[in-house]
A and B are shown apart, each in its own frame.
Chain A
Amino acid sequence: MITNSTHSKSRSFFTSLGRYFLWTILTIFTLGPIYWMFVVSSRSPVQVYDKPNLVITSFYAENYTKVFEDRVVRTYMVNSLIVATTNAALVTTLALFATYALTRWKLKGSDSIFFWTITNRMAPPAAFILPNFLIFTQVVKFGDFMLFDTKIGLILVYCLFNLPFAIWLLKGMLEGIPLELDEAALVDRASRIQVLFKIIVPLAAPGLAITFILTWVFAWNEYILAASLSSSSARTITTRLAEYVTTTGTNYGELAAVAIIATLPAIIFLTFIQKYIVTGLTFGAVKE
């Protein structure tokens, strides 16, 4: 007995040592590029092109002040926030309804519908820019109003790739929730909608959280559609990043500063939502 416990103790010591080693290496690998991005943002152009120095010795604040003072950049940030958040909320909700329907009812043709929804996301985007542009400028046109360069337009067009993604993500998770739970509640005379909100949602909470974050991130980081379907009112911060690539020099310092600023809201979001995954876990563990 004693040998067993000491043996397992030393084994678990090595396993946890191995685990810490693994995760430390991973953390360095993960943070490396982000750290370098930050380092670049702290350097003046002449320093950026100098021999690489891993340590930050001076801080060239102009990269950041130029960005903060630019009213246009602030507009872009706000646009991105509105578009990404609205789209993520819309998509998560609609996908929840859709996957609830797909997993709880035998709807005719639901399998092929399911597969077909994802095809919207499969094609390389380049050839689809022109039709979307035409739709935005000529088809959806009421008098002077065009869908082009509006936040609503972007929110709707982002549904095309985020909605299938959310549906697919959630379907897998909802399928993992046993139908018996539904049955039990229905026997107790709950309505379908009540089953959705009182049973499914708590169990699927980790999935919903992840779907929300990921669709939010995809909408936030999307470049090609935002660039071609917006002009100045609805432009997002990600399109701003591409603007820095010019003929007179990619100003990497400023680009890095904008990239860091553009990534901050996402990081803040992420830290908050992480907690809900944990809360969701305790709900999810209590099954039956």
Chain B
Amino acid sequence: MLNTRKRRSLALASVISSLALVLSGCSSSSDSGSASGDDAWFASAAEKLECKGKTIKGVTENTPPGQYVKSDIIPAFEKATGMKVDLETTSWDEMYSKAINDMEAKTGIYDFVYIEQDIIYQYLKNDYLANISKEIANNPDLKAPSFDFAKFTSFINDFKNADGDVFGIPMEAFVKVYLYRTDLFNDPANKEAFKAKYKRDLVPATNYKEYQDIADFFTAYGKDKELWGTTVQAVTGHPASFYELFESILPTNGVYNWGISKNFKASAAAGGSMNSKAAKDAFAFWVGLLKDAPPESKQSTWTEVGTTFAAGRAAQGWVYGENVAWIATDAAKSKVVGKVGVALPPLGNPQVLADSKSGAGYLGYYDGGAFGVPASSKNITCSVLFQQYQGQESVQAKWAAAGSRIVMDSTYNDPIVQAQDEKTNGYYTFMKDQGSLFRGAPAFPFHTSVREVVAPFIYDAIAGKISTSDALDKAAKAADAEMKKLGY
């Protein structure tokens, strides 16, 4: 009775498990032997440092660059050194909590973790990471001849401490560009109609008014064609909207570093600029674009913006670099292959361009991440060995092609990358030439806390519950309170 029923259920369970095991038996494991790099040196180093046979564990996000590490770089490394690398891929939110829990509790579970550019400051403040520069300097056997800090783009500076020591080896970097539909912009009929109505040429916008006009024009044009004038990353309930506003839009009107001053004040009255007139104007402009944006915009994170664009539903928009490549080249995912172009984002204040060139400001978001080694890791030396392997110049090009990411200056010149560059109408050239005008997240060690108190007001403004002006006033007040509470 109990036994028979149980027995049958267990029998069933074992049938299913054996099926699963059989399936695992007849697998065709991809033999990735793209072993490029100084494998001989790494092999001997692994022996000398007694890393051979050891297992190191890492955690990263499940994105194309991360997947490439898993599918190509790690097998090559394992083959060369006899080490085992166990890379866990997780979802975006989860990755942080796992890494942070491990490093805070010093449990030593992970030997390398993905560090997004915006959280490095929090990690450095809490001494979570091992000093890679020092590790290499103190151990001559550990220094790989094929690895050189100087080869990286200036992005690596974001992962250095005040002394210039490196705490993270960049593994991906992108810029969030102004993406537009070359087919729509170059169409003669459109050009004529636009010129007739707005008395200027149909080219990518350089300021807010031009952008608005183009958005209006294409919304009217696309009325029954499932086409709208612009994307807006206006999801309510997810930080993506906060990020587009604070990292891409506000800087173009001269509000840098989230409008928070050097002495940690956000309200204009206290010396910040979060609720300054410039900020309010920029916010109003951005929310005003919603009338020219497809209906899914209020649910669009960076993902949906990318897919909206790829589905041909928008004529222009701010799009993350990691999406640009597949939108422009992958026919299985995109309907606008070969039909997109990149440009500098439209500016609200022309002074911003001069600021960006001089370094006093910036006009858009430079995104990216690195692999760092937790100070609590039990295998720091062996982990640093792996970091150097993935940071070699020779592995960069194929990795760039797989994940449209560039962290080394020389990668731009590689033929594989240049071929992709053509297909994307110059995204990589753009990143190389104009990348310095963009910047990553500001160096705040309280990034997520302030984001969480400010975001609800942004959501409410998008949902139309409060005005954009009120939202920023309340947001600045809340941000100030939060920073005070955290002790800044």
A and B bind? yes
Given contacts A77-B20, A81-B16, 13 further A-B contacts (CB under 8 A): A45-B310, A45-B333, A74-B23, A81-B13, A85-B10, A89-B10, A129-B97, A138-B105, A138-B107, A202-B1, A231-B86, A231-B98, A243-B89
Residues of B within 8 A of A68 (CB): 23
Residues of A within 8 A of B1 (CB): 197-198, 201-202, 205
A87 → chain B closest CB, angstroms: 12
A242 near B: Cβ within 8 Å?
A: yes
Determine the residue in chain A with the shortest Cβ distance to B336.
A46
Residue interface bits B55-94, CB-to-A below 8 A is 1, else 0: 0010101111000000000000000000000101111101
A73 → chain B closest CB, angstroms: 10
Once the chains bind, are B101 and A45 in contact (CB under 8 Å)?
no
A sample of 21 inter-chain contacts (CB < 8 A) reads A46-B335, A49-B307, A50-B335, A74-B27, A77-B20, A78-B17, A81-B16, A137-B109, A138-B107, A197-B2, A208-B2, A208-B5, A227-B94, A228-B101, A231-B57, A243-B90, A243-B91, A244-B62, A265-B16, A268-B16, A269-B9
Interface size class of B (residues with CB under 8 A): 35 or more
A133 near B: Cβ within 8 Å?
A: yes
Distance in angstroms between the alpha carbons of A75 and B88 in the assembled complex: 13
B354 near A: Cβ within 8 Å?
A: no
Determine the residue in chain A with the shortest Cβ distance to B313.
A49
A110-136 contacts to B, CB under 8 A, are: 129-130, 133-134
Determine the residue in chain B with the shortest Cβ distance to A233.
B86
Determine the residue in chain B with the shortest Cβ distance to A269.
B12
Residue interface bits A229-271, CB-to-B below 8 A is 1, else 0: 0011001000100111111111000000000000001001100
Distance in angstroms between the alpha carbons of A81 and B19 in the assembled complex: 12
Neighbour of B63 across the interface among A138, A248, A265, CB < 8 A: A248
A188 → chain B closest CB, angstroms: 18
B292 → chain A closest CB, angstroms: 20
B445-472 contacts to A, CB under 8 A, are: none
B334 near A: Cβ within 8 Å?
A: yes
Residues of A within 8 A of B326 (CB): 248-249
B175 → chain A closest CB, angstroms: 14
B73 → chain A closest CB, angstroms: 16
Residues of B within 8 A of A244 (CB): 62, 91
Once the chains bind, are B9 and A249 in contact (CB under 8 Å)?
no
B228 near A: Cβ within 8 Å?
A: no
Determine the residue in chain A with the shortest Cβ distance to B378.
A144
Once the chains bind, are A246 and B63 in contact (CB under 8 Å)?
yes
B139 near A: Cβ within 8 Å?
A: no
B28 near A: Cβ within 8 Å?
A: yes
A212 near B: Cβ within 8 Å?
A: yes
B281-295 contacts to A, CB under 8 A, are: none
Interface size class of A (residues with CB under 8 A): 35 or more
Residues of A within 8 A of B (CB): 44-46, 49-51, 62, 68-69, 71, 74-75, 77-78, 81-82, 85, 89, 96, 129-130, 133-134, 137-138, 146, 148-149, 197-198, 201-202, 205, 208-209, 212, 227-228, 231-232, 235, 239, 242-250, 265, 268-269, 272-273, 276
Distance in angstroms between the alpha carbons of A265 and B19 in the assembled complex: 11
Once the chains bind, are A49 and B9 in contact (CB under 8 Å)?
no
Neighbour of B311 across the interface among A44, A46, A82, A202, CB < 8 A: A46
Once the chains bind, are A272 and B9 in contact (CB under 8 Å)?
yes
Once the chains bind, are A201 and B12 in contact (CB under 8 Å)?
no
| Nearest 6 Cβ contacts at the A-B interface | A45-B333, A137-B107, A49-B311, A242-B91, A243-B62, A74-B24
Residues of A within 8 A of B307 (CB): 45, 49, 249
Distance in angstroms between the alpha carbons of A245 and B63 in the assembled complex: 9
B189 near A: Cβ within 8 Å?
A: no
Residue interface bits B309-321, CB-to-A below 8 A is 1, else 0: 0110000000010
Once the chains bind, are B88 and A232 in contact (CB under 8 Å)?
yes
Determine the residue in chain B with the shortest Cβ distance to A85.
B13
A131 → chain B closest CB, angstroms: 11
Neighbour of B92 across the interface among A74, A138, A245, CB < 8 A: A245
B473 near A: Cβ within 8 Å?
A: no
Residues of B within 8 A of A239 (CB): 90
Residues of A within 8 A of B331 (CB): 46
Determine the residue in chain B with the shortest Cβ distance to A231.
B88
Once the chains bind, are A247 and B311 in contact (CB under 8 Å)?
no
Residues of B within 8 A of A272 (CB): 8-9, 12
Residues of B within 8 A of A77 (CB): 20
B405 → chain A closest CB, angstroms: 11
Once the chains bind, are B105 and A134 in contact (CB under 8 Å)?
yes
Residues of A within 8 A of B89 (CB): 243
Determine the residue in chain B with the shortest Cβ distance to A50.
B311
